[in-house]
Amino acid sequence: MDTDVRKKIIFILKILQNSNEAISSKKIAEHLAAYGSFLPERTIRHYLKICDENGFTEKADARAKRIITKKGIDEISNSFVLEKVGNMSAKINNLAYEMDFSLKKKKGTVILNISVLDKKAFLKHHADIRRVFENNLSMGNYVLLIEDLNQSPEFSHIDTKNKIAIGTICSITLNGILLRLNIYVNSIFGGLLEMQDGKPYRFTQLIRYDGTSLDPIEIFLKGRMTSVNEYLLTGNGCIAASFREIPAVAYFEVLKIKKVLERSGLNGILVLGKPGSPLCGISVNEGMVGMIVVGGLNPFAPLVEKNIEVANYALHNLINFEELIMYNQIF
* Strand-pair partners of 194: 202, 238
Tell me the residue length of the chain: 331
Residue 222 makes CB contacts below 8 A (sequence gap 6+) with 304, 312
* pLDDT tens digits, 6-35: 878 888 998 898 887 899 998 898 888 766
- Distances in whole angstroms, Cα of residue 291 to Cα of each of 7, 32, 201: 35, 29, 14
Which residue type, as a one-letter code, is found at position 64? A
Last residue of a domain, one of 86, 119, 139: 86
pLDDT at 84: 43
Residues 149 and 55 grouped into a single domain: no
pLDDT, position 80? 46
- CA gap 35, 38 in Å, rounded: 9
Q: Specify the 3-state DSSP secondary structure of 103.
A: coil
Among the candidates 86, 121, 150, a domain finishes at 86
Predicted confidence (pLDDT) per residue in 70-87, tens digit = 999 888 877 644 444 447
- Co-location of 61 and 138 in the same domain: no
Q: Answer yes or no: do 44 and 65 share one domain.
A: yes
Residues 180, 246 share a domain: yes
Looking at the structure, do residues 175 and 259 belong to the same domain, yes or no? yes
Q: What is the dihedral of CA 130, 135, 136, 137, to 10 degrees?
A: -80
Q: 102-161 pLDDT, tens per residue?
A: 999 999 999 999 999 999 999 999 999 999 999 999 999 999 998 877 666 555 556 667
91 and 181 inside one domain:
yes
Do 130 and 28 fall within a single domain? Answer: no
Per-residue pLDDT tens digits for 255-273: 999 999 999 999 899 999 9
Three-state secondary structure call for residue 251: helix
Burial 279-307 (b: 16+ CB within 10 A, else e): bbebebeeebbbbbbbbbbbbbbbbbbee
Read off the pLDDT of residues 203-233 as tens digits, 9 standing for 90 and up.
Answer: 999 999 987 878 999 999 989 999 999 999 9
- 43 and 160 housed in the same domain: no
Which tens digits make up the pLDDT trace of 264-319? 999 899 999 999 899 999 999 999 999 999 999 999 999 999 999 999 989 988 99
| Whether residue 163 sits in one domain with residue 24 | no
Amino acid present at 18:
N
- Indicate which CATH number applies to the domain containing 63: 1.10.10.10
Same domain, 270 and 213: yes
The whole domain housing 61 covers 3-86
Instruction: Tell which of 47, 66, 86 closes a domain.
Output: 86
Tell me, yes or no, whether 66 and 91 share the same domain.
no
Query: Domain with 161 in it: what CATH number?
Result: 3.30.70.1360
Domain count, the chain: 2
